[in-house]
Amino acid sequence: MLYRRLGRTELQVSELSYGAARGAAADPSAFIATVHAAIDSGINFIDTAADYEQGDCEHSLGEALRGHDDVIIQTKYQPYDGWGGEASYTGSPDKLVASAEESLRRLRRDRLDILLGHAIRSPETLDRFMNDGCYDAMTRLREQGKVRFIGISELSTVDGTHDVLKRAIPSGALDVVMLTVNFLLQTAVNSVLPLCVRHDVGTVVMMPLNQAQNDSGLVSVPAALECVRRHIAAGYLPNEAPYTDPHLFDFLKPYTVPAAALRFVLAQNVSSCCVGTRSPERLRENLCAVDPPYLDRPRLDKLRELFGKIRGQVR
């Protein structure tokens, strides 16, 4: 496992990190076994959130991390009443502090390594989060030693051109951001990532496999072709060859679609690529993608030629 600097935090994080977002409620023992496999592989950075599976993910993660105090944990507080773009902003300093305290309890830790405002989805609600006391509450938690570093994550299904992050990063208020980069949503590569370098902000990439769904994620050729079809339906891609060709992704061989997708992200100037999985076996497949040089220039150029103009994420 190789490690990269997480911006101004100076933390050295594994370039492939583990997304602890699903599976704890259905099968806690399998979830814990996968976390242990991740740690054994050299992964030292795990992302979760207070509202993943109503707190079950944090609870099981706390169980899995007994004796592993050196693993870096990032968790989140969501200041909305739902996941969609129509959700109402409901953030408050008291709710944020209560959420952080509950995360500490479930994770069985005295301190959160990183706390993010979760899925900030519009410049308007970003301004509210930064000025209604929520951001100040995060800084107080940091001053109290309950949180080491702070930041936000975006909601790329609503903000595919990263307007929130382009506004937030130059403020100097954030240590870390979590953003979407994958070969079907490349908009951050030439916009957000250079900003993060300029302001020394750590970058954790989420959804490297897009929405990793069996029917339309970057998890197989049929699913990737279905995701392309949905981009065509949304008007992001033309309804013509090569996008309608069933052999569209043949140029990625010998890599599988998910391996190429992870390699695409790791070829960018990011701190860590966060991917979730529910089994040690699938985790081991993902680990095969972490060997540099990741993805060669001809394939990177072809992915940019084919998909670099997409300006929105589809599920």
At residue 3, the 3 state secondary structure works out as strand
The whole-number pLDDT of residue 84 equals 84
Q: Which residue has the tokens 């891609």?
A: 237
Give me the count of residues in the chain: 315
For 6-27, b/e burial (b = at least 16 CB within 10 A) is bbebebebbbbbbbbbbbbeee
CA distances, 308 to each of 165, 184, 254 (Å)? 19, 7, 22
CA distances, 196 to each of 123, 193, 222 (Å)? 18, 5, 34
Where in the chain are the domains?
3-210+268-282
The whole-number pLDDT of residue 315 equals 85
pTM, full prediction: 0.96
Instruction: Give 186-228 as a DSSP string.
Output: -TTTTTHHHHHHHHT-EEEEE-BTBS--TTTSTTSHHHHHHHH
Residue type (1 letter), 159: D
The whole-number pLDDT of residue 217 equals 93
Q: Show pLDDT as tens, one digit a residue, over the chain (315 residues).
A: 999 999 999 999 999 999 999 888 889 999 999 999 999 999 999 999 999 988 999 999 999 999 999 999 999 999 999 988 889 999 999 999 999 999 999 999 999 999 999 999 999 999 999 999 999 999 999 999 999 999 999 999 999 999 999 999 999 999 999 999 999 999 999 999 999 999 999 999 999 999 878 889 999 999 999 999 999 999 999 999 999 999 999 999 999 999 999 999 999 999 999 999 888 888 988 898 778 889 999 999 999 999 999 999 998
261/255 Cα distance (integer angstroms): 9
Cα distance from N-terminal residue to C-terminal residue, the chain:
30
Check if the beta carbon of residue 248 is closer than 8 Å to that of residue 227: no
299/262 Cα distance (integer angstroms): 13
Q: Where would I find the H helices in the chain?
A: 28-40, 56-64, 93-107, 123-131, 134-143, 163-168, 192-199, 221-234, 257-266, 280-287, 297-307
The whole-number pLDDT of residue 122 equals 96
Architecture of the domain delimited by 3-210+268-282: Alpha-Beta Barrel (3.20)
Residue 23 Rama label (left phi>0; alpha psi -120 to 50; beta): left
